[in-house]
Amino acid sequence: MNRQKIEELIELVEKSDIAELEVHFFGGRKIVIRKNTPGGNDTYLMNAPPTHVQPNAPIPQPIPVPTHQETEKSATSTEQSETDNTSKFTEIKAPMVGTFYRKPSPDSPPYVNIGEHITVGQVICLIEAMKLFNEVKSEVSGTIKNILLEDASPVEFGQIIFLVELD
Amino acid sequence: MATKSIEINLPDFIGKVFSYSEIDSTQVEAKRKIAQKCPVPFLIIAKSQTGGLGRFRRKWYSPTGGIYFTLTTKPVNNPAISLVVGIALVEILKTIIPERKFILKWPNDILADNEKIAGILAENFNNALLIGIGINTFENGKFNSIPCDENSRNEILLKFFKKLDFYFDKFDQKGFPYFLNKYIELTIPIGAEIEIFAPNEKITGFFSGITDDGRLILECDNKKIKFSNGEVSLRIG
């Protein structure tokens, strides 16, 4: 899906009565378009397709994500949004390709949950590649606002895993 | 309670040796030692484990008579180290027990006559690399195991650690490409039909080789797919 299509979808949502549109694509990728309502934000979330890991294959071009400014321009062109906090969030990206795990073992609780506070050096997930399990540590302190991958999902190098609101 | 029980002279590079007649898990004990600031490198070795762990806390049956240890060394970020450990172990097992046919199944399971007899689990934990290994060896050869006695077990350990020392240096200097041909010689034949259980899917195809960074190449519907994770199952028939 290209940028023009996304903008068309945004326009569709804007003109309709619906508050949120979630579009799932073949392969697991999805886009969520949420109308800017009082107390709410325009949010664009994308999940990587749950396909097998092909690190040597060209990394698919990410769907262009409208920036905060573009979002306002296309979806809320007549009002200044001061409630959109998404752009304030810091992204924590996968340092390697592999499989993402939220828990140290299947029976354990997750390392972190949405809403929890994390500190620099804290282990926040595991990534496994070729039976080598790597702890991923946070380089920031803040509050987890979103976790963009399911447990045991494939992850590409550089893919965003967590959104964090810095202290 | 764990007690000291194994006395062998191992190469200096593995550091201090903590040996036990019985322990819950050498991997768990290694993590406890690290948490207690025990200097790396060190080795945890046990004659039996009450809670031996495989990948994802799957139970690894660990009665007396097997070889169970965790080597703890400096962290390594290149996941192909996992394959290199497998190469070293298979090469030693082939030398000491030539009557069995050993195969290295990607990434590092070890089969003897098509039965899994050794598992390797590597973890980067708290700025250390933990290499946990379980080898099913029994004097009477019961279960899926390699028949060997106490002397053979010690010989396996000594030779394995010497080889690993050498291979770690090579891996530091030359990376996985140095090991690629060795790996291909020890693994399943090119063209073998396999299933791979990757996250969220199972794919059947033909084994087409290993990349020079250690990933498995599967040929499926005339396409070559590279995997960095997954469990390979051989289709024998």
pLDDT by residue (tens digit) across A95-152?
988 999 999 888 889 999 999 999 999 999 999 999 999 999 999 999 999 999 999 8
pLDDT of residue A41: 34
Counting the structural domains of chain B, the total is 2
Which positions ≥6 away from A109 have C-beta within 8 Å?
A103
Same domain, B165 and B205: no
Which positions in chain B touch A56 (Cβ < 8 Å)? 211, 215, 226
Q: How confident is the model at residue A62 (pLDDT cuts 50, 70, 90)?
A: very low
pLDDT of residue B117: 87
How far is B71 from chain A, CA to nearest CA, in Å? 14
Could you give the percent of chain A with pLDDT greater than 90?
A: 38
Q: What is the ipTM of this complex?
A: 0.87
| Domain around B108 | 3-182
Same domain, B117 and B162: yes
Q: Do A132 and B200 touch (CB under 8 A)?
A: no
Q: Find out whether B119 and B69 touch, Cβ atoms under 8 Å.
A: no
Same domain, B195 and B171: no
Asked if the C-beta of B204 comes within 8 angstroms of chain A's C-beta atoms, the answer is: no
Q: Do B200 and A135 touch (CB under 8 A)?
A: no
Instruction: Find the helix packing angle between A68-75 and A3-15, rounded to 10°.
Output: 50
If you search the block for the tokens 């350990």, which residue do you land on? B157
Which positions in chain B touch A128 (Cβ < 8 Å)? 229
Model pLDDT for residues B197-229, shown as the tens digit of each residue: 887 788 999 999 999 999 999 999 999 999 988
Three-state SS at B145: coil
Q: Do B215 and A130 touch (CB under 8 A)?
A: yes
Q: Do B57 and A134 touch (CB under 8 A)?
A: no
Q: Find out whether B45 and B15 touch, Cβ atoms under 8 Å.
A: no
Strands, DSSP E only, in chain A? 20-24, 30-34, 46-47, 90-93, 98-101, 117-118, 123-129, 132-137, 142-147, 153-155, 160-166
CATH architecture for residues A88-166: Beta Barrel (2.40)
Residue count of chain A: 167
Same domain, B205 and B135: no
Q: pTM here? A: 0.74
Q: How confident is the model at residue A39 (pLDDT cuts 50, 70, 90)?
A: very low
Q: Find out whether A109 and A137 touch, Cβ atoms under 8 Å.
A: no
Model pLDDT for residues B8-39, shown as the tens digit of each residue: 677 888 899 999 988 999 999 999 999 999 99
Same domain, B116 and B169: yes
Q: Do B199 and A131 touch (CB under 8 A)?
A: no
Q: Do B79 and A98 touch (CB under 8 A)?
A: yes
Same domain, B125 and B88: yes
Neighbouring CB atoms inside 10 A of A146's CB total: 16
* B96: CATH: 3.30.930.10
* B213: CATH: 2.30.30.100
Same domain, B27 and B97: yes
Which positions in chain A touch B85 (Cβ < 8 Å)? none
Q: Find out whether A102 and A125 touch, Cβ atoms under 8 Å.
A: yes
Output phi, psi for B86, to 5 deg: -60, -40
Q: Find out whether B76 and A126 touch, Cβ atoms under 8 Å.
A: no
Same domain, B121 and B212: no
Cβ–Cβ pairs < 8 A, chains A and B: 91
The residue out of B182, B204, B224 marking a domain boundary is B182
Same domain, B230 and B127: no
What is the C-alpha R_g of chain B?
17
Neighbouring CB atoms inside 10 A of A90's CB total: 14
Q: Find out whether B55 and B29 touch, Cβ atoms under 8 Å.
A: no
The residue out of B165, B182, B199 marking a domain boundary is B182
Same domain, B115 and B217: no
Q: B26: buried, middle or exposed (CB in 10 Å: 19+, 13-18, 0-12)?
A: buried
Q: Residue ranges per domain, chain A? A: 3-53, 88-166
CA distance B1 to B225: 48
Same domain, B145 and B202: no
Residue type, A143: T
